[in-house]
Every structure is written in structure tokens, then in C-alpha cells.
Structure 1
Amino acid sequence: MDMGLSGRRALVTGSSRGLGRASARMLAAEGATVVVHGPAPSDAGAVAAEIRAAGGSAETAAGDLTTEEGAAEVAHQALAGGPVDILVNNAGTYDTLPWSEAIPELWAATYETNVVSGVRMIRHLVPGMRERGWGRVIQLGGGLAVQPMAVQPHYSATLAARHNLAVSLARELRGTGVTSNTVAPGAILTEAVRELLVQEAPARGWGDTWEEIERHATETFVPNDTGRFGRPEEIAAAVVFLAGTHAGYISGATLRVDGGTVRCVQ
């Protein structure tokens, strides 16, 4: 299926690793020119080089999105090569701290990183999309937005904010040709997650081989209907779909890619 991304330009924030990296690579494979963003030029440059080596088109933008100046500089770099048609707000941070350790200052810092940084990029890039009459804005959210656990309450709250702002933005962009949606991953097997599971396995009795660890971790830690962790490429596929021409009638929606973790109707 042709996603209609040839000639489009996409900025994926936080795309030097993890879900952002997978999304950048797949968008480029579908014909988009991708602006790879990372905190430092070397981080973004490595992924851009991977994309070019695979025959894709990639540029870079580096900077700290948690400051007004840094976000403005990232937007400036992203726009240097032409208009940005697709914004994927992926950059963020998380931890697994409980309520007792999630002090108010950490709540504020996490909100700044996970929510306000994305708002800054929306303000920089969406006006141009509106003027041109076409655009895609995609937030990376998560199932914890609607089914939070006892731990990491500050992180879950920021996911809920991402989901909420995506719907509000969709209402704001009504009739403009610009859509706003959310991709909500479940437990995804990034490099960091795999390292965490391997470290936790001995104490939790999850076994020695990766197959055993993934099976037991899925059963006891993140139960879902597929019996496994998702892969970054599965999230990237959802991002690419929402970015493409076939998703023009979808706005204000949440696309869950979580193996059936979230059981309620949304």
C-alpha cells in the first residue's frame, strides 16, 4: 500500500533511539524526508546516516525541547530544508518511581519534558500546515493514560495530557486539512526495556533464556492478549499509517497498539 508520503517532510522528536528511531526509519522507507531529532548532533546524525544508507532521505535537528530557545532552534533547523508536513511528538522521559518518591518538582519536570515540549513544536510547525491546507500531528501516548498503575503516577498523568491535547488540537484544526491523533503503545521491547527485564529476571524467577523471560514477564508484569511485548516497528507502522493519505478521515483518535492490554472501550 502506498502511504502517499513521497515529497512530504516529517520531524520526529526524540528519534535518536527507541520508538522515535523506528518511526523515523519507517517514514523514510515510505518516501518521506525525515528530520531526525536528538539532544546532540551526534545522536541525530547516527540515525540519519542509517536512513541514508538504506536509500532514504534524512536531515537532522538537535536541541533541548524543554526550553523555549531550544525548541525554536530545533524548529528553525527542521524548517531549513523546507516545510514540515508531519510532526511526530515522541520525545519524552519516564521512570518507575512510586508516589512516595515522585515529588512535586519531578511532576513539574516530567510535564515540561513530556507535554510542554510537544506544545512548543505544535506552535512552531502547525501554523504552516494550516496555511498549506495539509498536515499530520501525531502524539505518542500510551495505555497508562487510561489505565494507570500505582507506580509512576507523574508519567501516566503526562500521557493522559498528551491524549487530551491531541483531541483538543483536532477540534481546533477542524476543516483545515490538518489532523491530530495519538498512537498509544503498550509494553514495547526497546533496548532499554530488554535490559531492564534481563536485570529483573533472576530476582523474579523469570528464567534464563530470553524466550522464558519474555513469556514470564508478559504473564506477570504486563499481561496482554498476545502473550508478548510489542516491537518498535509495530508502533512505527501505526505512526506511518496516521501520517499517510489513507488516514485523512481520522482525527482526534487514539490508535492503541498494545496487544490488548487496555480492555475498556474508548
Structure 2
Amino acid sequence: MQIDLKGKRAIVTGSTAGIGFAIAEGLARAGAKVVVTGRKQNTVDRAVESIGKAVPGARLSGVAADFANAEGSQTLIAAVPDADILINNLGIYGGCSFFDIDDAAWEEIFQVNVMSGVRLARHYARGMQERGWGRIQFISSESALNIPAEMVHYGVSKAAMQGVSRGLAKVLAGSGVTVNTILPGPTRTEGAQAMLAKLAEERGVSTDEAEILFLNENRPSTLLKRFATPEEVANLCVYTASPQASATTGAALRVEGGIVESIA
């Protein structure tokens, strides 16, 4: 299968590192014009430069904006009025006891994880619908199905994201625009590696051993028995953004290593 996205413009939110960066690079390799986004101009510039070195001839641009508020979304929309592919990857997380999650924390996680995608999809989906082709993805998590007790607000925000995605797919039914969620599991992003390094130090083990400890204690149902790489997650995203995935819409596509105890 040869995925060819030449002539398509793709926006990936939160793409200066981690899964978002891998998705941006994967889309660039497939020939898409990719808009890299992040909160700070210097990190956006570094990501654009890095992808450019890895993918010679890649057509890249960058926009610095904070999508945790409506103003940030408008900054992107003003800079890039139209897109063929929108990947709502931006997200935050953090462990916290349910009783310590105050209203401000709930509001913040919903603004970043849910409303950032809602605002951008509300704008870009209209142009896609008019042109009769488009791809929208919301990067969710297996935590949307297995709400983690140590970060309930995160799991709930990801479940809400899936609700938005399914509803929007219905709104755009028959238009040529597909809308899907992608559900990664534990992934070796920079944040995850820092978490494992801290766990390794606390337990007096290597980072490889810490990864096994984390999975055994927190995701014992994993079938992969390791963290995925960002590139493994990105591979599914690139396919789902392609013309070949034209019959896949309204779906929650899992790349979580078999953690979810369901055959559906």
C-alpha cells in the first residue's frame, strides 16, 4: 500500500514532541503539507527543522498558539484558513486524587483536551464538507475506556472527546469527510520516559525494568507487554488520514497494545 497525501494540507496540534511530532513527520513522509503547532515559537521552529532534516523536501510550516483558549484557535485559523486533514492531538494529563481535582483543574483539562478540538473541528470541517473530502482525528486514549482511578479527569476528558468525534462523524455523514478517534496506550513519549526515569530512581531499578513494573502494576492486561513507540501510533494515524481509509468513520481505533479487555 502506497499512501500518497500530496496536495493535502494537514494540521497537527501539539506536534512539537511525542505522538504529535511523530504524526507530523509521518504525514510529511506521505507528501502532505504539514502545519506544526505548539505553544512556543522556538519549539515549533525546532520541530519544523527536525522534520525537515528527516524528510528532505518536506513542505512544512509552523504556528505558535495556545489552544487552551479561543484566541489560540483563532490565531491558527487566521494563519491557516483551510485544511484537508486535522489531527487534534493536543492533550494534557497528570495523576491526582479525585478529591484533590478542583474545579480549575477540571476546567483546564476540558479546555485543552476537548474544547481545543471542538473549536478547530467546527471551523475546518465546514471547508472539508464543501470540498467533499477531509479527515479529522481526535487522539484519545485507552483511558477513555479504562478510566484510571489516579486521573479520573483525564479519562473523562478523553471519553468526552470520543463522544464529540462520533457525533461529528454523524453530522458529516455522506460528505466524504471522515471523523475518527485514535486510542493509544502507554507510549514512549518524552513525558513517559521522564516518568519511567523517576520510577526507576524510586525503585532502584533500570528504566527498562521500570517500564515492566509500571505495566504490571497499572496496565496488567497489556498484550504488547511494552510501551508503544510514537511512530507505531503515528502509523495508524497516517493510514486513517489517507484516501485508503475512506470507509472508516465514526470509529474508535485502538493502538493500545491490547490493554482494553474487549473483543469489540
Which bracket does the TM-score occupy, shorter chain normalised? over 0.9
Distance 1:184 1:258 in 2: 6
Equivalent residue runs for 1:1-266 within 5 Å: 1-53=1-53, 54-55=55-56, 56-79=58-81, 83-204=82-203, 207-208=205-206, 210-223=207-220, 224-266=222-264
Distance 1:40 1:131 in 2: 32
Deviation at 1:66, TM superposition (A): 2.1
* Residue 26 (structure 1) shift: 0.7
SS of 2:80's equivalent in the other structure is: helix
In the alignment of these two chains, the number of paired residues is: 261
Q: Is the 8 A contact 1:99 1:150 kept in 2?
A: yes
Please give the per-residue CA displacement for 1:160-218, whole angstroms capped at 9, x wherever unaligned. 0111111000000011100000100001111111111111124345x23x332223332
CA–CA distance in 2 between the matches of 1:78 and 1:219? 44
Q: Unmatched 5+ residue regions in structure 2?
A: none
State whether residues 60 and 78 of structure 1, in contact with CA within 8 Å, keep that contact through their aligned partners in structure 2: no
Q: What amino acid does structure 2 have at the position aligned with 1:88? A: I
TM-score, length of structure 1 as denominator length: 0.94
Separation in structure 2 between the aligned mates of residue 138 and residue 91 of structure 1, nearest angstrom:
11
Comparing 130-139 and 219-228, the one that deviates more: 219-228
Q: Secondary structure at the match of 1:60?
A: strand
How many angstroms apart in 1 are the aligned matches of 2:68 and 2:116? 5
Most deviating of 21-30 and 214-223: 214-223
Residues 3 and 30, structure 1, Cα contact 8 Å, conserved in 2: yes
Identical aligned residues as a percent: 36
AA partner of residue 77 (structure 2)? A
User: What is the RMSD of the two structures over their aligned residues, measured on CA atoms?
Assistant: 1.3
Secondary structure of residue in 2 paired with 1:100: helix
1:141 and 1:162 in contact (8 A); partners too: yes
SS of aligned partner of 2:150 = coil
Give me the whole-angstrom Cα distance separating, in 1, the residues matched to 2:213 and 2:95: 20
Q: Is the 8 A contact 1:51 1:57 kept in 2?
A: no
Write the distance in 2 (CA, Å) between the matches of 1:226 and 1:232: 15
SS at match of 1:75: helix
Amino acid paired to 1:73 = T
TM-score w.r.t. length of structure 2 = 0.95
Contact 1:169-1:180 within 8 A present in 2 as well: yes
Native 8 Å contact 2:199 2:210 kept in 1: no
Post-superposition Cα deviations, 1:5-36, rounded to whole Å, max 9, x if no partner, equal 11111000010111101100111011111000
